[in-house]
Chain A
């Protein structure tokens, strides 16, 4: 099927993009931002979504800096037009926060990563996606702008439901900040998918520091879920995680199988994150 007709905006600055988003919302049902299109275009083609307008941010003036990856004191800042492939290839980003590359290698296939944006994947808030779980685990944040100004949304306030972020319909995400790896901390990522590059049946990321052990889960619940496993004995990690998760069954995997993957992968990533310290 083909997408339904929509009005097309092609702003050249973030301010123009915010204007267009605000105007569309004032006059009707509001517009959707078009970034890499790797999630949005399939939804439009299948007519699961038919917004009256799209705001294509692919032609924003590079001077706005939205295509930049910056290593800042607070972490790796990823602009809204940074493609997964660019973030995965960034040596600086990998050194500052190795979990990014570890997780990105599991995001779809290289061809999809050439187009899809890392920030788009966070706004899309798919609980089966890798980067929302990574942002949640690291305690990162998203910078968003609108005609009302800019604000920073912490990850724990970002993912509110299945495919639902807390952004207002006229807000534009400008960039995400993934906190850098602290001294003495270690991270690890693992997932099981039918084929490499498919959405995970279960994925787990771990962050181990001097005094905490945390794990984040994708494809287990409706939203990316972070669980504190500090002081849990190694042999009990899987069960401790399961006591706070309620794995869902669907056509891809039964709830029991997901529970088993949670047990196995939790133990594995915590072990590996410890080793990586």
Chain B
């Protein structure tokens, strides 16, 4: 049996793409394999690690726990969509660079998307809130200290940009 393909438009980082994929195509795979947006990483593929986190209509969600067809009609933002309009690093990316918030970088796209949304909801987090903001994402390298610093630095940078 050949599998039915579903044809639909998927909006990622403001660009609308036409897709024809089986219903079982995970959003993470559609982004990486069908659209070539390999910034979104896949670690555990069952919702635990957070590497695949993207923004769906601005809210962080696990792209490995969603089918691409379900994302039809929504605005998806991936790590590729977090840079400033002139292609310079966005505030959260800049803060990660400054604070040494990554080592291998595998987990980073998920942290960047999560923190971007977190700071939008709470632009001036306390240290405790900064820790809380990243509690659902795993990193095997950094020990998290510099990621927490990066959250606080990103809050400063976003404040300056406003």
Contacts and interface: CB of A to CB of B under 8 A. Distances in A.
B66 A5 contact: no
Nearest to A195: B135
B70 to A, nearest CB: 5
A197 B22 CA distance: 32
Given A8-B6, A110-B60, A197 B136 contact: yes
A110 B60 CA distance: 8
B23 interface: yes
B46 A5 contact: no
A19 interface: no
A111 B136 contact: yes
Contacts of A37: 65-67, 70
Contact of B60 (A45, A56, A114): A114
B46 A115 contact: no
B114 A111 contact: yes
B47 interface: yes
A151 interface: no
Contacts of B26: 2-3, 41, 45
B24 interface: yes
A197 B60 contact: no
A197 B60 CA distance: 16
Contacts of B6: 8
Interface in A38-62: 38, 41-42, 44-46, 54, 56, 58-59
Nearest to B118: A110
Given A38-B47, A109-B135, A5 B65 contact: no
Nearest to B45: A45
B66 A45 contact: no
B109 interface: no
Contacts of A56: 67, 69-70
Interface residues on A, range: 20 to 34
Given A41-B66, A114-B61, A46 B46 contact: yes
Interface in A1-55: 1-8, 10, 34, 37-38, 41-42, 44-46, 54
B114 A7 contact: no
Contacts of A2: 24, 26, 29
B53 interface: yes
Contacts of A4: 24
A197 B136 CA distance: 8
Contacts of A41: 26, 46-47, 64-67
A112 interface: yes
A10 B73 CA distance: 13
A275 interface: no
Interface string B67-78: 101101100000
B153 interface: no
A196 interface: yes
Contacts of A7: 4, 23
B76 to A, nearest CB: 13
Interface in A183-228: 195-197
A3 B29 CA distance: 12
Contacts of B65: 37-38, 41-42, 112, 115
A115 B61 contact: yes
B149 interface: no
Report which residue of A56, A109, A197 has the largest number of chain B beta carbons within 10 angstroms of its beta carbon: A109
Contacts of B72: 59
A45 B45 CA distance: 8
Given A34-B70, A37-B66, A5 B59 contact: no
A115 B73 CA distance: 16
22 contacts: A3-B24, A5-B1, A8-B67, A34-B67, A38-B47, A38-B65, A42-B46, A44-B24, A45-B45, A46-B46, A85-B59, A111-B50, A111-B60, A111-B114, A112-B47, A112-B62, A112-B136, A114-B56, A115-B56, A115-B61, A115-B62, A115-B66
Interface of A: 1-8, 10, 34, 37-38, 41-42, 44-46, 54, 56, 58-59, 85, 108-112, 114-115, 195-197
